[in-house]
Amino acid sequence: MAAARGRDAIVKVVRAVEGASISAGSIIMYVQMATSTIRYGMGVTQEVGMDFQNMGAKKVCLMTDKTVGKLPPMQIVLEAMTKAGINFEVYDNIRVEPTDSRSLDDDMLLPFPSFEKWPRHSHRHVRDCQPDIFGNATHETFPAHRNSNITVPSTTRYFVTKVVDSLDKVKNGYGHYTVINNPLRTFSVVEPGGSNGCIEHRRRTVENTSQARTCHVAVNAGFFNTHTGACLGNLVTDGKRIQDSGGIQNANFGIRKDGTIVVG
């Protein structure tokens, strides 16, 4: 809605300018509008570097195509970013997605079988599209938290933050986050409804499944066949392999015996 209002306002201003008559010696005024996504007005392109500077951006990704990348506005952007001392990278080997039905196959990260109305890339294709800097891996690992002095399984912190809505009104936003202490001893992947949940194709809510293991904190972290209820992907719980998908990974989150967290 905010974007629509901004667009309508811009159209209104442009039409007003087109229909206006300016006599010699008149002072020419221009209108500048600013939202979270739109800057409109004379010279705003030259200020893009300052905008990112004010945002405190550490590194910026500039995306364009090879045609627009050669036009004067792009050069203005590059100069503005450099002048403001912004660390940035330009990606110009992209294109606008076409409107025909085959555009579904342009999505690199969603493999689906041919009988589905979705992209039809193989798991191998999805893996190959990962940048080399990530080692051709679709996951990342890092050490889990360890502290023998902490005995409680989890710690929850509550916070209040100021949130600005689309009408520029400031409201209080309330939230919380939970830290899982020593996850090697406290974390577990639980089948739907508990033991044998995948074999029996159970469908259970997160709340119901968490009760089977008296979990303090629980989150839905797996996919399943919506027609049969069968679990999808590899599944290891309490150190036991419950299901082997034959190569297709379905790991939202996991932990190894050495305490390494796996995400991906």
If asked whether residues 132 and 164 sit together in one domain, one would say: no
If asked whether residues 125 and 220 sit together in one domain, one would say: no
Question: Which residue stretches of the chain are H helix?
Answer: 2-18, 48-55, 72-83, 123-128, 183-186, 206-212
Mean pLDDT of all residues in 81-87: 91
For 108, what's the count of Cα atoms within 13 Å in the CB-facing half-sphere? Answer: 8
Residue 205 located in a structural domain: yes
Mean pLDDT of all residues in 235-256: 72
Q: Which of the four pLDDT bands, split at 50, 70 and 90, describes residue 95? A: low
Q: How far is residue 177's CA from residue 155's CA, in Å, rounded to a whole number?
A: 8
If asked whether residues 192 and 245 sit together in one domain, one would say: yes
pLDDT in tens, 175-233: 888 888 888 777 778 888 888 888 888 888 888 888 888 887 787 777 788 888 888 77
Mean pLDDT of all residues in 93-116: 50
Q: What is the pLDDT of residue 253?
A: 67
Q: How many structural domains is the chain composed of? A: 3
Boundaries of domain holding 127: 101-138
Q: What is the pLDDT of residue 98?
A: 46
CA nearest neighbour of 144 among 238, 235, 257: 257
Residue 36: give its domain's CATH number: 3.40.50.1970
Residue 147 located in a structural domain: no
If asked whether residues 208 and 124 sit together in one domain, one would say: no
Domain final residue, candidates 73, 91, 109:
91
Q: How far is residue 221's CA from residue 239's CA, in Å, rounded to a whole number?
A: 17
If asked whether residues 79 and 160 sit together in one domain, one would say: no
Q: What is the pLDDT of residue 85?
A: 92
If asked whether residues 111 and 178 sit together in one domain, one would say: no
Residue 149 located in a structural domain: no
pTM (2 d.p.)? 0.41
Beta bridge partners of 163: 171
pLDDT in tens, 111-158: 444 555 544 555 555 555 555 555 556 667 778 878 778 778 788 888
Largest CA distance in the chain: 84
Residue 22 located in a structural domain: no
